[in-house]
Amino acid sequence: MRGSVDPPKGDGMVIGMATTKVTITLDNEQLAAVRKLVSQGKSSNVSSFIQHAVAVSLSDVAGWGAMLGLALKGTGGPLTAKERVWADSVLGVAQPQRRKRSAA
């Protein structure tokens, strides 16, 4: 199918990949848009569209993580503990409370 967002097809299942049914919640407008794409033949069904969307999102996250890693490497690496405390104070991020150990 040209312009399809479906994953590659085998015999109705992705070879070597287990699947699990889940329930998700979408805005009515999002679901309507997905159903419209399915009716236009852009995807064979809602499930295939969602599988593709999740794969794209996971790829994006991995790509941004790699890009961040390269940027950090080029600028001296991750923040030190002292730099992180300073950044958190400037950004108004509350420091996590340390749990006190009870004497045993």
The sign one gets for the Cα dihedral 43, 62, 10, 26 is negative
Q: Would 101 be classed as within a structural domain? A: no
Show the domain range for 4. 1-94
Residue 104 falls inside a structural domain:
no
**pLDDT tens profile 15-67:** 567 889 999 999 999 999 999 999 999 999 999 999 999 999 998 888 888 88
Model pLDDT, residue 56: 93
Q: Is 99 within the bounds of a domain?
A: no
Structure-model confidence comparison of residues 80 and 35, the more confident one: 35
